[in-house]
Amino acid sequence: MIDLVVGDALAADLERARALGREHLRPLGIEADRRREPVPADHPFFALAWRMGLGQPLGVEAREERGPRTAARRGVLLAEEMAYWDRGMSVAMPGLGLGGPPLLGMGTAAQRERFLAPFRDRDRPHWAAFGMTEPDAGSDVAAIRTTARRDGDDYVLDGAKTFISNAMRADWIVVWATVDRTAGRAGHRAFVVERGTPGLEDLRYEHKMGLIAYESSSFTLRECRVPAANLLGGEEHYAARAGFKGAMRSFNATRPAIAAMAIGIARAAYDAARTPGALDGAGPRVQRRREKLARMARKIEAGRLLCWRAAWLADEQQANEVEASMAKAFAATIAQEATGLAVEVLGDAGVTADGYVEKLYRDVKAMDIVEGTGQIQRIVIARRLVGLPH
C-alpha cells in the first residue's frame, strides 16, 4: 500500500520511525505520563532523533529537500506510525511543527531563508511553534483578541495565547494577531516572534489530562516589539483577507497528519485489545467483542484512506478543506471508540493506572479538540457540501 501513496523510498523512513517508536517513543511517553511532566528539551533522545532526520511528522520539514509533491503523504504515514508508539512524544519531537506551513506558505524568500536556517543545523535539535489559540478564542479563530499596532519600523503586540505546543522551547513562534478588531478576519496578521524578544513573557506549562510528554504552554505579549520584517509575507500579502486564509491553509495542510495521529492511537488500542487470551472462549459476550473488533478494523482502514486522500490533494496543491475536515472528524471519533473498546475488552487491566490502555484512554480525547474540534469540522463539511450559511 505504501507505494500507492508516495513510493518505496518511504519504507526506510517508516522502518526508522518504527524502531525509534519501539525503543524510545513509547517508553519515554509512559515515563513522562507517570512522572506527570514533559520530556525535557535537553533529553539525549531528541538530539539522537534530530541527527537521524526524524522530526515532527507533519509533512512540512521535508518539503524543501524532497519537493512539495510528496511532503503531505510522507507526513501522514510518519504521523500515524509515530503516534502508534506515542502521540505525545511525536509532538514533542523537534522540528517546525505547526509553525512550518505558514512560514513556507506565506513567508517571503528572505523570511524562509532566515527562519529555516537554524533547522538545517543537525548539531542540536530545534523547535518552532504556532500561536493561535487564546483563552477566549479556540475553535473560533476569527475571534482572536491579540492586537498588533504599527510603531515606526516595528509592530507592538499585546495579548495572551494558551495551549501552544512547544512554545517554551521554540526558536520562534508564529503568533497570530489582529491590526483591527472591527475588521474581523481581514485584520488578521501573522508575526514571527523570536525567543528572547522583550515582552514575550509568562511562559508556563499547562497541565493536561493526557499527552503529558509534550509541552502545552501559555504566554503573554506585553508591549512585545517585533520588527516589521517579521510580518509573514509583508503587508502586501494581506489584501483580500489573506491573513485568515493563510491560517486556514495551514490547518488544511496539517489536519490530515493530525487525523493520521488519531488513526495511530486507534491502531495501538486495537492491538492492545487483541491481547492473547482476551478473546478466547465462546458465548455471546466474546462474540460481541469479536464483532466490535472486526468493525473497528474496518473503520481504521477507512479513516486511513481519508487521511491519504486529503494529503494527496495537499501534495497536488488542490483544495482539500472538506477532505481534511472529514479525515479529522472521522479519525478522532474512531480513536475514541477504539480506546473505549480496548478498555471494555481488557476489563480491570484496561483501567489500572499502570496499564497502557488507560493512558491511551486519556490521551485520545485531545484528538477531537486540537486543530479544530469535531463539531467545527462537521460545520466546515456542512457549509461546503450542503450550503449551510456562514
Residues known to be catalytic: 371
**Measured distance CA(166)–CA(155) in Å, rounded:** 24
Alpha-carbon distance values, 160 to 99, 177, 220, 276, 327 (Å): 18, 10, 4, 49, 30
**Measured distance CA(148)–CA(178) in Å, rounded:** 6
Q: In degrees, to the nearest 5, what angle opens at C-alpha 160 toward C-alphas 210 and 149?
A: 150
**Measured distance CA(256)–CA(264) in Å, rounded:** 12
**Measured distance CA(156)–CA(149) in Å, rounded:** 5
Termini Cα distance of the chain:
39
What cell does 26 get? 513509547
In 3D space, the residue among 172, 42, 34, 31 whose CA is nearest the CA of residue 89 turns out to be 31
Q: In degrees, to the nearest 5, what angle opens at C-alpha 360 toward C-alphas 60 and 18?
A: 50
Alpha-carbon distance values, 383 to 82, 110, 186, 326, 378 (Å): 33, 37, 20, 13, 9
**Is the CA virtual torsion 137, 138, 143, 147 positive or negative?**
positive
**Measured distance CA(313)–CA(38) in Å, rounded:** 34
CB-CB contact of 222 with 199 (8 Å): yes
63-97 exposure pattern, b = at least 16 Cβ within 10 A, e = fewer? beeeebebbbbbbbbbbbbbbbbbbbbbbbbbbbb
CB-CB contact of 54 with 86 (8 Å): no
